[in-house]
Amino acid sequence: MGLVVIRSVCRGRRLLRVAGVGAVALGVLTVSACSSSSGAADSAGSSASGAGAGKVSGDVTVFAAASLKESFTELGKKFEQKYPGTEVTFSFGGSDSLAASINGGAPADVFAAASPRTMKLVTDQGGAAGTPVTFVRNRLEIATLPGNPDELASLKDLTRSDLKVVLCDRTVPCGAAAQKALDAGGVKVTPVSYEQDVKSALNKVALKEADAALVYRTDVKAAGDKVEGVDFPESAQAVNDYPITVLKNAGNTGAARAFIDLVRSAEGQKVLTEAGFLQP
Amino acid sequence: MTALRKSGAATGPRTGPWFRHGRTEREGDGGRRRTGVPGALLVPALVGLAFLLLPLLALLLRAPWSSMPELLTSTEVWQALRLSLICASAATAVSLVVGVPLAWLLARAEFPGRRLVRALVTLPLVLPPVVGGVALLMAFGRNGVIGQWLDAWFGITLPFTTTGVVLAEAFVAMPFLVISVEGTLRAADPRYEEAAQTLGASRFTAFRRVTLPLIAPGVAAGAVLAWARALGEFGATITFAGNFPGRTQTMPLAVYLALQNDPEAAVALSLVLLAVSVAVLAALRDRWMTAS
């Protein structure tokens, strides 16, 4: 029964609302179902989108979390190629401030947030059309200096007194996740600073002012060779879900849905996993 | 010339009290004429006033008055407020010690490239403070141009320390002081200094005994501007000194972070900062008035 619905999401591409019924729970199944039978789903998907291509046109405005910048920019280009005549405009920023802008009436068609909490800010105000679905997940890594000179191997190593560690402030998503991971490991870290967002925390390490920071895998990846990532098992306890939704005040609902379909397609997921995201 | 007029305008209202003695007659004279304020000036003036005050009024109207007592008794708020006041005052002191001589150099000394230097001094005014913070890291950071030697020779690291906060605030606030003092110096008659020198005073004595008392109003006005700017500093501080309660978390940082998940608390915190700064500025003004 559930599978029938899922298949139709993979193929139909218009049935997002159906998938939205059990958003998070189904979301996990949905994409794994799509990607596991990637060959069949892909061909089915492209034929379906081919049929709907005529209707997708015009401009679509996407508000997305800052951590999605690289991958969404790429997906935006793919979208414009796929649907000639469309134009995707992005606004990247902290999920909190994006949510505030949307609630304040900013003209946006799609909202992709870095945490369910920030998405809730919008859904609580009735700003979403349908129920948001999780399209990727992100987990933490220890970012340290290239070559790992301090030989960090676990969360516990961050408690060493000779280390300068920065964390995100608890009020921002990456800080909340860091706190969760530290609690899970029973580790108490006294940082030199609680940074205001994940990029600031990362930059402190990239500039060699701090020896280590707890940031997302995607940020470590985006920083290239300026930092080195160290995985730790407790990060599994603090995985961040990224929800996406069409907005109620969307001026171009058709294109908005098509964009979300692309993000959730095998093609979209490939771009996102390459950036370090985990599939939902 | 423009710079002179501009800074004159900026310092004018604040320097008022010192010149009050000399102006009493004219002011009394103007008092009668003030009834006929031309509408072409009055209307835009009132629009300007409303534009500046309305957002503050909105802040007051929307403030969560019921949760105020709880906030005001939290140690974190007091910690942040205390740190803000200490750091802003220290940054003003630093600005005075090096900023006044710098202003003198720009106004009185002749050297090639003076215009360029003056333009460079005002750069922190246009630089986004966050960029200023990154620049400070590159200069004074653990791995910075100067910072690496400070670390290697003296074991001093500035980022993530209270000293770092003072440095960041001074970097952003000092140009206000320099511009204000330089403007006053240009408006001051250099012949007084020259007279002092012909009477045997060295150039430094002339500066200390003649110039400095002469430009005191401009220095005070500049110091107030710098203090106010330092008190509200956010970008350079959080970038260079980070954010740790009690050590580097000043009020603007606390306000910003509260804004992320509790906007009401942020409004309350801003009001505390506003109230304190208004109180301090008003108190200072009163003291100057009576002093003059």
Asked, for residue B283, whether it belongs to a domain, the answer is yes
The reply to whether A17 and A112 lie within a common domain is yes
Provide the residue range defining the domain that includes A146. Answer: 140-238
What is the per-residue pLDDT for A4? 39
Asked, for residue B25, whether it belongs to a domain, the answer is no
Rounded to an integer, what distance in angstroms lies between the CA atom of residue B192 and that of residue B177? Answer: 23
Task: Report residue A25's pLDDT band, with 50, 70 and 90 as the boundaries.
Answer: very low
Asked, for residue B64, whether it belongs to a domain, the answer is no
- CA of B16 vs chain A CAs: smallest distance (Å): 41
What is the per-residue pLDDT for B282? 84
* Residue A85's CATH number: 3.40.190.10
Entry field: residues in chain A:
280
- CA of B238 vs chain A CAs: smallest distance (Å): 8
CB contact under 8 A, B258 and A192: no
The reply to whether A127 and A45 lie within a common domain is yes
The reply to whether A134 and A259 lie within a common domain is yes
Average pLDDT across chain B, whole number = 84
- pLDDT over threshold 90, residue B232: yes
What is the per-residue pLDDT for A141? 93
pLDDT digits (tens, 9 = 90+) for A193-220: 999 888 899 999 999 999 999 999 999 9
Task: Report residue A8's pLDDT band, with 50, 70 and 90 as the boundaries.
Answer: very low
pLDDT digits (tens, 9 = 90+) for B112-142: 999 999 999 988 888 999 999 999 999 999 8
Asked, for residue B10, whether it belongs to a domain, the answer is yes
Given the DSSP bridges, would you call strands A193-195 and A165-168 parallel, antiparallel or unpaired?
parallel
The reply to whether A159 and A255 lie within a common domain is no
Distances in Å between the Cα of A272 and the Cα atoms of A71, A113, B23 are 6, 14, 71
Closest CA to A109 of A124, A89, A126: A89
- pLDDT over threshold 70, residue A7: no
CB contact under 8 A, A169 and B260: yes
CB contact under 8 A, A166 and B239: no
Q: A-side interface with B, Cβ within 8 Å?
A: 94, 96, 164, 166, 169, 171-172, 191-196, 200, 203-204, 207-209
Q: Which of A169, A172, A207 sits opposite B141 (nearest CB)?
A: A207
Task: Report residue B286's pLDDT band, with 50, 70 and 90 as the boundaries.
Answer: low
Instruction: Give burial (CB, 10 Å; 0-12/13-18/19+) of A108.
Output: buried
The model's pTM is 0.74
Q: Take residue B245 and report the two structure tokens written for it.
A: 């309660």
What is the per-residue pLDDT for A40? 37
Entry field: residues in chain B:
292
Residue range A261-270: mean pLDDT, rounded: 94
Task: For an interface test with A, give the residue of B162, B243, B248, B264 to mutate (most A CBs within 10 A).
Answer: B243
Residue range B91-115: mean pLDDT, rounded: 93
Task: Report residue B222's pLDDT band, with 50, 70 and 90 as the boundaries.
Answer: very high
The reply to whether A193 and A255 lie within a common domain is no
Residue range A50-58: mean pLDDT, rounded: 59
Asked, for residue A280, whether it belongs to a domain, the answer is no
Domain count across chain A:
2
Chain A residue with CA closest to B142: the answer is A209
Q: In the block, which residue shows the tokens 């220290």?
A: B90
Q: B-side interface with A, Cβ within 8 Å?
A: 134, 137-138, 141-143, 159-160, 238-239, 241-245, 248-249, 253, 256-258, 260-262
DSSP category for residue A66: G
Residue range A87-95: mean pLDDT, rounded: 90
Phi-psi region of A257 (alpha: psi -120 to 50; beta: other; left: phi over 0): alpha
What is the per-residue pLDDT for A19? 41
Asked, for residue A30, whether it belongs to a domain, the answer is yes
Asked, for residue A85, whether it belongs to a domain, the answer is yes
C-alpha R_g of chain B: 22
* HEC-encoded secondary structure of chain B: CHHHHHHHHHHHHHHHHHHHHHHHHHHHHHHHHHHHCCHHHHHHHHHHHHHHHHHHHHHHHCCCHHHHHHHHCCHHHHHHHHHHHHHHHHHHHHHHHHHHHHHHHHHHCCCCCHHHHHHHHCHHHHCCHHHHHHHHHHHHCCCCCCHHHHHHHHCCCCCCCHHHHHHHHHHHHHHHHHHHHHHHHHHCCCHHHHHHHHCCCCHHHHHHHHHHHHHHHHHHHHHHHHHHHHHCCCHHHHHHCCCCCCCCCCHHHHHHHHHHHCHHHHHHHHHHHHHHHHHHHHHHHHHHHHHC
Q: Take residue B247 and report the two structure tokens written for it.
A: 């050590």
The reply to whether A249 and A132 lie within a common domain is yes
Asked, for residue B43, whether it belongs to a domain, the answer is no
Asked, for residue B59, whether it belongs to a domain, the answer is no
CB contact under 8 A, B137 and A164: no
pLDDT digits (tens, 9 = 90+) for B267-277: 888 898 888 88
How many A×B Cβ pairs under 8 Å? 58
B283 versus A232: the higher-pLDDT residue is: A232
The reply to whether A120 and A73 lie within a common domain is yes
Q: Which residues contact B71 (CB under 8 A, 6 or more apart)?
A: B77, B265, B268, B269, B272
The reply to whether A89 and A227 lie within a common domain is no
Q: Complex ipTM above 0.85?
A: no
Provide the residue range defining the domain that includes B210. Answer: 2-14+72-291
Helix (H, G, I), strand (E, B) or coil at A248: coil
Domain count across chain B:
1
- CA of B182 vs chain A CAs: smallest distance (Å): 36
Task: Report residue B71's pLDDT band, with 50, 70 and 90 as the boundaries.
Answer: confident
The reply to whether A61 and A185 lie within a common domain is no
* Residue B224's CATH number: 1.10.3720.10
Chain A residue with CA closest to B260: the answer is A171
- pLDDT over threshold 80, residue B30: no
Residue range B91-105: mean pLDDT, rounded: 96
Q: Take residue B155 and report the two structure tokens written for it.
A: 């074991």
Residue range B31-47: mean pLDDT, rounded: 80
A265 versus A5: the higher-pLDDT residue is: A265
- pLDDT over threshold 50, residue B278: yes
Given the DSSP bridges, would you call strands A140-144 and A110-112 parallel, antiparallel or unpaired?
unpaired
- pLDDT over threshold 70, residue A28: no
